[in-house]
Chains A and B, each alone.
Chain A
Amino acid sequence: MTIDKKQNGSELTLTLSGRLDTTTAPQLEEALKESISGIEALEFDFGALEYMSSAGLRVLLAAQKKMNKQGKMVVKNVNDVIMEVFEVTGFVDILTIE
């Protein structure tokens, strides 16, 4: 997985490509830890993300909880397979998916 980070003041966009799974989730966790402080608008672009396992959900949930306190978070360009993961786990109600 690769993570492309773009920050503009208090806005942060993370563009992910590849697979967000047990092996790669710690990379995203690390990227968020480095950058989330002071962010008021966090955007995930999943356009090039192939799939996600529960390891990815865990990181997204932690990010959502953090952003509930300090701003907003959106997830964009979610493919079918990932959308099904969000649906069966009820994450569609937790995340803002655009």
Chain B
Amino acid sequence: MKELTVDATVENIEVVTDFVNEQLEALSCSMKAQMQIDIAIDELFGNIANYAYDPEVGPATVRVEVVDAPLSVVITFIDHGVPYDPLKQEDPDTTRAAEEREIGGLGIYIVKKSMDEISYEYKDGQNILRIRKNI
């Protein structure tokens, strides 16, 4: 298990992405799975950076674990900002034309569709969001 705690800022999305990619490369993770995980980091850590402590800045922890059967990587995002369960967000209507499209909710929807598992809990004053991807 590896863990990184940084300020939850948009600037640190890249720091978190590099940190996770380093672990994924050591696992010979496929390029495709790695890029899908990178997208998930952008969406999830980006949400924390934009909303969890707004307008203040606070810390977020990103934990990377490898589990067996099936071999997968589990990434956990932890912050102690405003309680927010992104899984409660309604799925967007993906059939609407450009003019009627709303962009809200697309990010978490992409993550739901590209990961093998996603879960959320609020515990001890912390938002704990976990994704699992088979590799």
Contacts and interface: CB of A to CB of B under 8 A. Distances in A.
Interface string A83-94: 011001110011
Interface residues of A, number: 25
Interface of A: 19, 21-23, 50-55, 57-58, 61, 64-65, 68, 80-81, 84-85, 88-90, 93-94
A50 B35 contact: yes
Question: Which secondary structure dominates where chain B touches chain A?
Answer: helix
Interface of B: 10-11, 13-14, 32, 35-36, 38-39, 42-43, 46, 49, 92, 94-99, 101, 103, 106-107, 109-110, 113-114
- Sorted nearest first, the 3 A-B pairs with minimum C-beta distance are A90-B94, A54-B107, A53-B42
Given A22-B46, A81-B32, A65 B110 contact: no
B38 A54 contact: no
Majority secondary structure, A binding face: helix
A28 to B, nearest CB: 14
B42 A58 contact: no
